[in-house]
Amino acid sequence: MASSNPPTLPPRATPDELDAAGRGPVLTLLVATVGWLVGAGALALIAAIKLHAPGFLADSAWLACGRVLPATANAFVFGFATQAGLGLALWLISRLGGAPLVGRGGIIVATCFWNLGLAIGVGGILLGDSTGLEGMELPRYATPILAVAGGVIVAWTAANFLARREPIRHVAEWYLLGALAAFPWLVATATLLTGFLPLRGVVAVATGAWFLQNLFTFWLGFLALAALFHFLPQLTGAPVPSRSLAVFGFWSLALCGGAAGLNRFHGGPFPAWMISVGVVASVLMLVPTLAVARNLFPLLRRHDRTRPPAPALTFFRASLAAFTLAGILGAANAGDAARHVTQFTLVTPALDQLTLWGFVGLAMLGVVHDLVPRLVGRAWPSARLARWHQRLAVAGVALLVVSLGVGGVVQGLALNQSALPFFAIVQRTVPFLGMATLANLILLTANCLLAVNLLRLLAQLGRERWAQFAKTWLTPLPEEVDP
């Protein structure tokens, strides 16, 4: 544990040293992130088309809609968001703590195994080996690989945290530390209870709901909030207005965030108290949501106009808006009156996407956007591609959430008219599902632009490295030169 006595700490390393040390592991994580982002986007587009065009790719079992949708979600959460979050955690801990990253080789090897395990798991879902539990679909032969590989990365991240040369000063570090502390709980629960200690009856479903809620709050949510609390002040040049409010927001989120999961089974086959806990926690989530929003929104207004606008700021701004909206809509959707209409409709995926894509996804895109150029020490090859990536990504998320949300309300109102045949209800949702397909197409396009930009950057870098290598290789050493 780092001493609380500053004079005993070694002096902090320069930013260049920190970036040089972090380049290998963080860049590995971020490149894998972009790969999964494009893969998940392609799967999401296939699933979205199949929801309204049942004849599309209907011959192959492994592209069944019921397999592609969970595969998409797992690729997005564990391939894209988690790896981007881990990259952010490593970089930020090193940057704020002032100590160069340690355990670089171990982290890179563990990252390779994480990607291998995830590829096996997502492939397993496509082959029909899903566990059948919403949120914990990865088959039991993949989860141990992920648990070990993820455990190694998180352990090295924690070790880096302990090796820091400065005491904790930043709100972002609290959220990172919270995410690191939560990881073992989440992984142990998911790994054990899906494959090794299966639970009986609806308890398995309740556990799945607990896992999903806590994964969203303590893992993805905390990592994304760490990004917002670091990058918003940094990019706008204004400090976080109130530290006390930040403390309050952090602890109230930790207290309320874990209990809201069963809200999604309103009216379901559970004892009433379990649903009630979920409803109460969902409403209480308003408190941390508003505390964080109250603290971060002023930063956007106080933005120093003399500085050139940072490109990644668009993502963080949209992510903050999505976080606030998700908290408010989640609380509004908790009550009986709303659930009466929205339960089992497209509103559920709309709110999930608002959190996953809007809040977490956009924050992580901002992280990729900001970190990659820093790490390699050069700007994105095409500023135009980067600009279009921002616009299309934000527009795609907005269209996705709005089309699913409005479609869900239309669907829910129709579901409650018992005289209306079911097929008529389905027909009413089709236009909205079509708009969701368009949104997924926009998102995939945006993310392909990011991938192209990244590949060009890596190609430039590779060419330069090669030229340098060839030059040193072909130049004789001084002692080999005849005098």
Partner 1 sequence: MNRAPWIAFGVSLALAASWLGLVLVPQLQLGSEPMVVIEATGQDYPLARSGGAQAGAAVYRACGCAVCHTQQVRPAAEGGDLARGWGRRRTVARDYLRDEPPMLGSLRLGPDLANLGARETNNVTLLFKLYDARIATPGSTMPRFLWLFTKRRVPAGFAQSPEALPLPPAFAPPPGWEVVPTDDARALVAYLRSLQSAALFYEVFPPVKPRPATNGVAPVSATNTPPTR
- Asked whether position 157 contacts partner 1 by CB under 8 A, the answer is no
Member of 102, 109, 116, 277 binding partner 1 (CB under 8 A)? 277
Instruction: Find the shortest distance in angstroms from Cβ 285 to partner 1.
Output: 13
Q: Is 134 left (phi over 0), alpha (psi -120 to 50) or beta?
A: beta
Site string for partner 1, 63-92 (x = CB under 8 A): -xxxx-xx----------------------
- Asked whether position 34 contacts partner 1 by CB under 8 A, the answer is no
SS3 128: coil
Instruction: Find the shortest distance in angstroms from Cβ 269 to partner 1.
Output: 5
Residue 422 has a CB neighbour count (10 Å cut-off) of: 9
Sequence-ordered list of residues with C-beta below 8 angstroms from that of 269, at least 6 positions apart, any chain: 202
For the segment 201-220, give every residue that binds partner 1 (CB under 8 A).
201-207, 209-210, 214, 218
Q: In terms of CB distance, is 113 or 251 closer to partner 1?
A: 251
Tokens (6 digits) for 130 = 């899903």
List phi, psi (to 5°) of 54. Answer: -65, -15
Q: In terms of CB distance, is 199 or 402 closer to partner 1?
A: 199
User: What is the full DSSP assignment across 221-246?
Assistant: IHHHHHHHHHHHHHHHT---S-HHHH
Instruction: Find the shortest distance in angstroms from Cβ 185 to partner 1.
Output: 5
For the segment 93-132, give every residue that binds partner 1 (CB under 8 A).
128-132
For the segment 234-273, give every residue that binds partner 1 (CB under 8 A).
251, 254-255, 258-259, 261-262, 264-271
In 3D, which of 296, 318, 285, 313 has the Cα closest to residue 246?
296
Instruction: Find the shortest distance in angstroms from Cβ 95 to partner 1.
Output: 17
Member of 429, 440, 447, 453 binding partner 1 (CB under 8 A)? 429
Q: Which residues of 218-233 are buried (b: 16+ CB within 10 A; e: fewer)?
A: bbbbbbbbbbbbbbbb
Instruction: Find the shortest distance in angstroms from Cβ 204 to partner 1.
Output: 4
Instruction: Find the shortest distance in angstroms from Cβ 340 to partner 1.
Output: 6
Instruction: Find the shortest distance in angstroms from Cβ 36 to partner 1.
Output: 20
Instruction: Find the shortest distance in angstroms from Cβ 395 to partner 1.
Output: 25
Rounded-to-integer distance, Cα 403 and Cα 361, Å: 18
Segment lying near partner 1 (by CB under 8 A), choices 78-86, 291-299, 344-352, 454-462: 344-352
Instruction: Quickly tell me which residue has 């089709």 as its tokens.
Output: 430
Instruction: Find the shortest distance in angstroms from Cβ 378 to partner 1.
Output: 35
Rounded-to-integer distance, Cα 360 and Cα 341, Å: 27
Instruction: Name the CA radius of gyration of the chain, rounded.
Output: 23
- Asked whether position 343 contacts partner 1 by CB under 8 A, the answer is yes
For the segment 436-455, give every residue that binds partner 1 (CB under 8 A).
none
Is 352 in contact with 329 (CB distance < 8 Å)?
no
- Asked whether position 423 contacts partner 1 by CB under 8 A, the answer is yes
Rounded-to-integer distance, Cα 52 and Cα 438, Å: 12
Site string for partner 1, 3-32 (x = CB under 8 A): xx----------------------------
- Asked whether position 398 contacts partner 1 by CB under 8 A, the answer is no
- Asked whether position 415 contacts partner 1 by CB under 8 A, the answer is yes
Q: What angle do CA 465, 36, 147 make, to 5 degrees?
A: 105
For the segment 163-182, give every residue that binds partner 1 (CB under 8 A).
167-168, 174, 177-178, 180-182
Helices 243-256 and 171-191 sit at what angle, rounded to 10 degrees?
10
- Asked whether position 337 contacts partner 1 by CB under 8 A, the answer is no
Is 281 in contact with 256 (CB distance < 8 Å)?
yes
For the segment 46-65, give every residue that binds partner 1 (CB under 8 A).
50-55, 58-61, 64-65
For partner 1 (CB under 8 A), the number of binding residues is 90
How distant, in Å, are the alpha carbons of 128, 163, 352 from that of 408?
28, 49, 13
For the segment 129-148, give every residue that binds partner 1 (CB under 8 A).
129-134
End-to-end CA distance of the chain: 56
